[in-house]
Amino acid sequence: MKLVAISGPSSSGKTTVASALHKLFKNSLLIHLDDFYLPDDQIPIDPVKKTENWDCPEAVNFEKFIKCIKDLKSNGTIEERPTYEGEVELKLTEDELATFEQEVSQYSEEQIVFVEGFMLFHDPDIIKLFDINLFFYASYETLKNRRESRQGYNTIAGFWVDPPNYFSNIVWPEFEKNHKYLFNNEDVNDTLTKYALDDLNIQPFKNENDSKLKDLIQWSLDQIIN
Ligand SMILES: Nc1ncnc2c1ncn2[C@@H]1O[C@H](COP(=O)(O)OP(=O)(O)OP(=O)(O)O)[C@@H](O)[C@H]1O
Ligand SMILES: [Mg+2]
């Protein structure tokens, strides 16, 4: 069994690509880190912005998540879990899907677990649970535009809609704070360090709007198949 982690900031394309890969590999499992959020009333409140902080590691039950991944590695399977993700639109044409299916046909029985989430690479001990680490990212402007055109997120107790300026106040600063250690000059606009690339085996893809989702899926497949 191979575990493939897909991480990166909000709106970088993780859920879209992980869902497409899960569809292509018939024996694969798909785990969403978002399904391990704490209940709504336990999400930390940002002391300055006075709003729920859904973007910090403390909002997630990592103890439960890590146990789930370790159990999966030792038992080869996991219990069905409820997911809050909802339907994900595939965003591939019939032709594109058929081409991908052809390409993975000789690997389609492989046991692969796709794990996708915004906070998988903030801690090297978590990164080391996975065999392949794909990291999608994009510029502040691109991610802000994508995030702000999104309606909201299902939560355990309801539905979260970002208050005004949530991306610039919470989402981006938390991404920066928890991931700058992976970047040269501790600048998330720079390239990844040698440590991130060679020691942590993180494979980065800059997913701006001039990349097509098809290309991002193709690149991800290439990393997995190689
Ligand atoms: N290269 C791209 N060009 C245009 N739109 C894109 C591109 N990549 C992703 N998107 C769009 O951005 C939106 C966010 O993608 P997705 O939901 O997969 O992100 P995510 O990384 O799972 O975010 P979150 O962490 O908030 O769940 C989707 O509507 C997706 O279609
Ligand atoms: Mg997502």
Token output for 42: 């336990």
Report the pLDDT value the prediction gives residue 81, as an integer from 0 to 100.
77
Is 35 annotated in the active site? no
Give the H or E element holding residue 31.
strand 29-32
CATH number of the CATH domain containing 8: 3.40.50.300
Cα 184 to Cα 91, 134, 181, 187, 188, distances in angstroms = 33, 18, 8, 6, 8
Mark out the alpha helices in 3-88 (DSSP H runs): 14-24, 62-75
Asked if residue 178 has its Cβ within 6 Å of ligand 1, the reply is no
Q: What is the band of 77 on the pLDDT scale with cuts at 50, 70, 90?
A: confident
Token output for 121: 């690479």
Q: What is the band of 80 on the pLDDT scale with cuts at 50, 70, 90?
A: confident
136 alpha carbon to ligand 1 midpoint, in Å? Answer: 10
Token output for 180: 């700058």
**Rounded-to-integer distance, Cα 65 and Cα 117, Å:** 11
Token output for 113: 């677990």
pLDDT tens track for 174-218? 999 999 999 999 999 999 999 999 999 999 999 999 999 999 999
Residue 86 has pLDDT above 90, yes or no: no
Q: Is 207 exposed, middle or buried (0-12, 13-18, 19+ CB in 10 A)?
A: buried
Find the ligand nearest to 17 CA: 1
Report the pLDDT value the prediction gives residue 109, as an integer from 0 to 100.
83
Report the pLDDT value the prediction gives residue 76, as an integer from 0 to 100.
85
**Rounded-to-integer distance, Cα 23 and Cα 29, Å:** 9
Task: Using the atom order of ligand 1, give the atom closest to the CA of residue 34.
Answer: 27
The total of structural domains in the chain comes to 1
Name the residue among 76, 9, 65 with its Cα closest to residue 33. 65
Smallest CA separation from ligand 1 atom 11, residue: 13
Find the ligand nearest to 150 CA: 1
pLDDT tens track for 107-150? 988 899 999 999 999 999 999 999 999 999 999 999 999 999 99
Asked if residue 15 has its Cβ within 6 Å of ligand 1, the reply is yes
The pair phi, psi for residue 46, each rounded to 5°, is -70, 125
Give the range of the structural domain holding residue 184, as residue numbers without chain letter: 2-225
Q: Give the 3-state secondary structure of residue 48.
A: coil
Mean of all residue pLDDT scores within the chain: 95
